[in-house]
Structure 1
Amino acid sequence: MAHLVVLHVIAGLGRGGAEAVMARLVAASAAQCRHVVVSLSDDGVHGARLRMQGVSVHTLGWRRGRATAGGLFRLYRVVRDVRPDVVQTWMYHADLVGGLAARLAGVRAVSWGIRNSDLHPQRSSRSARMALRLCALLSAWVPRVIVSCSERAARLHAALGYRADRMQTISNGLDLHTWSVRPQARAEQRARWGIGMAAPLLGMVARWDPQKDHANLFEALSQVARALPELVCVLVGPGMDAENANLIRAIRARGLQGRIVLDGPRDDVVDVVAALDVHVLSSAYGEAFPNVVAEAMACGTPCVVTDVGDSGRIVGACGWVVPPCDAQALGEALQEALTVVCGDGGAALRAACRQHVEEHFGLDRMVQAYLQLWARLRTEGDARCAA
């Protein structure tokens, strides 16, 4: 059978989780598929890398959430010229415009991609909320399948009006050769950060965004610091630097100066999470399948998470899950986690984290699920054409 031709439509190619998963999927399935990628915005961090792998990448230059008539026509022409077997879209805006362009170009094999568990009514963008509502209305006509990376997100979107009978959950998968236990990272990164080897070390890899609820994290840290005077927390991600005045004010308001290391965005996140005693994700809403939780666990780093999206399912029995926006519960879980990880039970827990990810969230599992889905969509399309 000839290679599948899969055209991906995504809002952008920046540092987000959906972008990383798409790039990972494209690279891992290149032997079975010819991939074409359309970014509604720009090249981001993945565009050049994808081109180096031989992937055709088109950029439309849209501002976030702002379509143009010329851009819509260009998208339609790309779909028409490529004539893909399947159009796979990623996130609300791409689901909406990518799905419509595909159907107008005569492609029925459309697979939407849900990457959020929900949208906050005040903090989420108006265009994202509008795109979600339109997708719910069109979900009976545009997509053949709606792929959710999260079981909870699938249920929530069905409740919002998406066609439940078209939902399929495919969890994100990790390259377990890249995301691995790295004993040398602990000493190397602590030296880089100026942190002693004996200090209890927390960390969170996340952008500065209300969704991530750093305010809740800081309140919890102020509680933990009273019990663990040597506590240090490293924050990594876009906006995690001294130029972020709102971040600095929030840190000072909780008296956490000297306890928090700001390291900005990093390309070597694998070394960051491998160096931590515990990784925390304090999100208040919006997560579906937070990749960083599985990534940290694959590196043998236990996690404390808020119960948003599939965070609890990822952690399983190998970590701590607390309600969102509950600083008291988060602080207690962080203190307990550090006590266990830095004590006699730490080695066994680290090994259990790695094993859990190997069993449930490996890259091969995700790739095979998408390949089977795309092959089925092409077969169904061929059958309709023959009829």
Structure 2
Amino acid sequence: MRRIVFIITGLSTGGAEMMLLKLLEHLDRQRFAPHVISLTTLGELAPRIAALGIPVEAVGMKPGLPSPSGFFRLVQILKRLNPDVVHTWMYHADLLGGLAARLAGISAIGWGIRNSNLDKDKTKFSTRAVVGLCASVSKWVPSRILSCSEQARQIHVARGYVAEKMVVVPNGFDLTRFKPDTDARHRIRAELGIAEQTPLVGLIGRFDPQKNHAGFFEAAGALHRHLPQVHFVLAGQGIDTSNAALMQAITRAGVLANTHLLGLRSDMPGLMAALDVLASSSYGEAFPNVLGEAMACGVPCAATDVGDSAYIVGDTGRVVASGDMTGLAAALEELLALPPPEKAALGERARARVAENFEIGGVVRRYEDFYESLLANAG
């Protein structure tokens, strides 16, 4: 049995963290024995990992602050665990986890890239500095580098990552959890206090500059002027009425009475199934999970052309240029205006596209192949 240690920056709820959880839920435990290390704190996902019978621990580093003692603690943990493979997730874990694994005498090391936008105005200087360091040591630290999107692969090769080591494996989705659900549609709409026929547009994601919530409300305002009956529902970390910047954007757009802010939710499949259209207004994504989740629920998407969004959506929704909120409003309006049979057919095509290209079982098998390739190419 192959012993694998996964090292990730943290275990709060986010796209990368949720993909790690899905991988752990479906990993072949007859072949692989996983162990998870968070560089920072355990976060809300740690109990869910532990419930799978997988050991999980935290090094206790503070986000954004170098910690020599934490780094050497990580080296000691890896020496104690002596895994066959180390797979790191996200930039800080790639750099620190990769170097620690080398110092611990482990050579089968895989990095994980989950981001595609490194623009100066959207990405912290410290993150860009870590990316530069990763690029310079990518020649000798990792055996292979797994990117969740083709766009992210290209961007990182341009930044100096070794092209020959890059492999693309998309995110995966559990179609038994994310599926059309009439009961959930009724339940969520009752919770929001809106009628069954009220058009509902969703934006799901934590409050972060990359997600462009301000831009979304520009589009929402334009859509509202044409279709005043449309409601908007948002969920994610920082998405509540205490967020002054968010409330200002909503008020400026004139959609306060039509907007529902739900904060963090644990019932994402039901929430997705309640939507008529999912919007993604992001400036930067690698492989946005929300698109695949909505599509698996039979919900068409209108998204900005960032990361692999256009590839994910294919011909089952609408894609506009990054930053084009007028275009996003028009795309949302177009999807909402489709006759019910056409909209239902589009939703069925969206779910079929996820089943064909991004079903979690097939994606996890590609991860397992990646781990075998790490062992075969370790050095």
Q: Under TM normalisation by the shorter chain, which class is it?
A: over 0.9
Matches within 5 A, 1:228-247: 228-247=227-246
**Conservation of the 8 A alpha-carbon contact between 1:200 and 1:338:** yes
1:358 alignment counterpart:
355
**Conservation of the 8 A alpha-carbon contact between 1:322 and 1:329:** yes
Shift of 1:208: 1.1
Matches within 5 A, 1:24-39: 24-29=22-27, 30-39=29-38
| Equivalent-residue separation in structure 1 for 2:3 and 2:135 (angstroms) | 27
2:3 alignment counterpart:
5
What one-letter code is carried by the residue in structure 1 that aligns with 2:246? L
Matches within 5 A, 1:1-387: 3-29=1-27, 30-285=29-284, 287-340=285-338, 343-381=340-378
Shift of 1:243: 0.9
| Equivalent-residue separation in structure 2 for 1:262 and 1:72 (angstroms) | 39
Give unpaired runs (5+ residues) of structure 1.
none
Give unpaired runs (5+ residues) of structure 2.
none
**Conservation of the 8 A alpha-carbon contact between 2:85 and 2:108:** yes
What one-letter code is carried by the residue in structure 2 that aligns with 1:350? G
**Conservation of the 8 A alpha-carbon contact between 1:4 and 1:375:** no
**Conservation of the 8 A alpha-carbon contact between 1:90 and 1:112:** yes
**Conservation of the 8 A alpha-carbon contact between 2:188 and 2:270:** yes
| Equivalent-residue separation in structure 2 for 1:380 and 1:117 (angstroms) | 26
**Conservation of the 8 A alpha-carbon contact between 2:202 and 2:233:** yes
**Conservation of the 8 A alpha-carbon contact between 2:3 and 2:85:** yes
**Conservation of the 8 A alpha-carbon contact between 2:335 and 2:343:** no
Q: Secondary structure at the match of 1:130?
A: helix
What one-letter code is carried by the residue in structure 1 that aligns with 2:300? P
Shift of 1:152: 0.5
RMSD: 1.2
Q: Secondary structure at the match of 1:38?
A: strand
| Equivalent-residue separation in structure 2 for 1:380 and 1:92 (angstroms) | 22
- Give 4+ residue runs of structure 1 displaced > 3 Å after superposition: none
**Conservation of the 8 A alpha-carbon contact between 1:116 and 1:288:** yes
| Equivalent-residue separation in structure 2 for 1:96 and 1:201 (angstroms) | 42
Aligned residues with identical type, % of pairs: 43
TM-score, with normalisation over the residues of structure 1? 0.95
Higher mean C-alpha displacement, 212-221 vs 4-13? 212-221
Question: How many positions carry a matched residue from both structures?
Answer: 378
TM-score, with normalisation over the residues of structure 2? 0.97
